[in-house]
Amino acid sequence: MPHSTAHDSLQSIGATVFERGWLSSNNVLIQGDGPSALVDSGYSAHAPLTLSLVQATLKAQPLDRLLNTHLHSDHCGGNALLQASYPALQTHIPPGHADAVAEWDADTLTYTPTGQTCPRFTHQGLLMPGETIQLGSNRWEIHGAKGHDPHSVVLFQREAGVLISADALWNNGFGVVFPELEGIDAFDEVGETLNVIEALQPRTVIPGHGPVFTDVEEALGRARSRLAQFLASPAHHRRYALKVLVKFKLLEWQTISKKNLLAWSRQTPYMHSFMPEENTPASDQAWLDALLNDLARSQSLRIEGDQVINL
């Protein structure tokens, strides 16, 4: 179950963090004298829960603004329901995929390539790097955060030293570098974003996934170590990314047969592009079994006959 986090630094800026699991990003609700705002809305499967968390905290007050740090499905899957529930809601997204949202290009938005779901939503404003935005009682700086997603942003409240880092920095790393799966060099951009975060000198970080943390220097060190591993072995990153995609979908399904999981892998571009060149039933199944066995060894799932079960 999600739970809210209260730090003195967060209370001073009217921020409540709903810490979610891997399938849904953390949600940050900000209240104060200015516009109330939610940063990131989680995955579509959890949209009703996201709405209930927001409503329970705001009570009779409206939600004025919805911000997405980036447009991966686990960060904006609740947008459509929130927009339907709060008709005056103003949704702000990074500028890079604004046209894709307007035209609802599921390929460009990566929902088709990842095999994930996101109900269609609209946007009314853009989060332009270099500008600021009023959330609650405070102004928040918008900074570009390329790497994990080329159009991602992070939000920084300078006086309180609070950074909403999305998937650019977790307490133990960062999100999959998705451009690399498309053959686009982006590891250097991950490093540049870590440098941006270090220069901001945040004292408290709200990551896209996992608990709020304050050991920022140590977290940056862990992230840079992980980046060095990926730079030394891009194949290691690709394998990690494939396992993430399988685990993410399994979190949605909970249980699925190997046959159906293989069928999903074959029709999901990010998965299919790394399947064996032989493209035979035996080679494809062996490839998938190797990923599943890795996930089973890490206790991320259990295999019972033909059934793959989430843990």
Which pair of tokens denotes residue 74?
Answer: 């686990």
Q: Is residue 224 part of a domain?
A: yes
The reported pLDDT for the residue numbered 232 is: 96
Supply the range of the domain harboring residue 277.
243-310
Which pair of tokens denotes residue 30?
Answer: 């900000």
DSSP 8-state code for residue 13: T
Measured between alpha carbons, how far is 83 from 143 in angstroms, rounded to an integer? Answer: 25
Contacts of 282 (CB under 8 A, 6+ apart): none
Measured between alpha carbons, how far is 249 from 282 in angstroms, rounded to an integer? Answer: 23
* Dihedrals phi, psi of 110, to nearest 5 degrees: 75, 5
* Domains contained in the chain, number: 2
Q: Cβ–Cβ contacts within 10 Å for residue 136, how many?
A: 21
Burial string for 49-76 (b: 16+ CB within 10 Å, else e) reads: bbbebbeebbeeeebbbbbbbbbbbbbb
* Dihedrals phi, psi of 240, to nearest 5 degrees: -60, -45
**Residue 200 and residue 139 share a domain:** yes
Q: What residue ranges of the chain have pLDDT lower than 50? A: none
Look up the pTM and report it. Answer: 0.94
User: Of 165, 200, 232, which marks where a domain is finished?
Assistant: 232
User: Of 207, 232, 257, which marks where a domain is finished?
Assistant: 232
The reported pLDDT for the residue numbered 5 is: 60
Q: Is residue 238 part of a domain?
A: no
Kindly list the distances between the CA atom of residue 69 and the CA atoms of 43, 115, 182, in Å, as whole numbers in the listed order: 14, 21, 21
- The model's pLDDT over 117-139, given as tens digits with 9 standing for 90+, comes to 999 999 999 999 999 999 999 99
The reported pLDDT for the residue numbered 277 is: 85
**Residue 23 and residue 163 share a domain:** yes
H-type alpha helices, 154-233: 178-181, 187-200, 216-232
